[in-house]
Amino acid sequence: LLMSIGDRGANPSRAQASDDHAGSTLRLTDTGGVPDDNPFVGADSTLDEIYSTGNRNIQGLTVLSNGEPWATEHGPRTGDELNHIKAGSNYGWPEVSLGNDYRTNEPIGVESKPGMVDSVYRFEGRFAPSGLTEVTSSAFGDWQGQLLAGGLASETLLRLQLENGNVVDEEVILDGHIGRIRDVRQGPNDAIYLLTDGDQGSLYRLQVVN
């Protein structure tokens, strides 16, 4: 089980603390234990269950068919990210970010730093990422193996094509058509399911039109 913990907001430096779950991903067994091959098992200074650190606020998290974990993450103002989550990696927050302070609009940290992993992709504007899924059904043709990322404030569904660990193509599928998209899932019967976030939240089912 791979899960994410936000940085808790008030003290973002917790995301860089190796003895604190805040601002990290955790990897656990199905009984809540720690897998023997977790990256920090046996390291006195880091909690055994931690899989990655320096994550501000992951909202979308999925494991691809090839076993790779990918995540969409709320950055500060205009700094939302797509990250390839790798064992033992530090994603920089709050020392590294692509966004600005909400009050002053000044950059937070630096855009890149040695020993910390750069994001794979920066979402345009205030995307506010939510659910993330891989298209696994062959019914969607060339979309198979690509990512679908939902947006809350942006009310957007975005297709992202990965190639050798990079985003090589993108396409806006929905833009304000159904409201705030909370979750995106590949479902059975060759369908994609979208859950909206609002006073009257709804579940949408998308299929290929021949």
Domain at 83, CATH number: 2.120.10.30
At residue 9, the pLDDT reads: 85
Whether 160 and 111 share a structural domain: no
Other residues' Cβ atoms within 10 Å of the Cβ of residue 136? 15
Residue with tokens 């304000």: 176
Mean pLDDT of successive 10-residue stretches along the chain, which has 210 residues: 94 96 98 97 96 98 97 96 98 97 95 97 96 96 97 98 97 97 94 94 92
Whether 63 and 146 share a structural domain: no
pTM: 0.95
Q: How many DSSP H helices and E strands does the chain contain? A: 0, 14
Whether 76 and 102 share a structural domain: yes
The residue among 103, 123, 143 that closes a domain is 123
At residue 209, the pLDDT reads: 85
At residue 197, the pLDDT reads: 92
Do 16 and 95 touch, CB atoms closer than 8 A? yes
Domain that holds residue 2: 1-123
Nearest CA to 29 out of 42, 38, 40, 20 is that of: 38
Which pair of tokens denotes residue 76? 């500060």
One-letter amino acid identity for 66?
N
Whether 60 and 108 share a structural domain: yes
At residue 188, the pLDDT reads: 86
Using CA atoms, how far apart are residues 133 and 165, in angstroms rounded to an integer? 16
The residue among 106, 123, 140 that closes a domain is 123
Q: What are phi and psi of 146, to 5 degrees?
A: -95, 170
Q: How many domains does the chain have?
A: 2
At residue 29, the pLDDT reads: 98
Domain at 202, CATH number: 2.40.10
Q: Would the CA dihedral through 49, 89, 110, 169 be positive or negative? A: negative
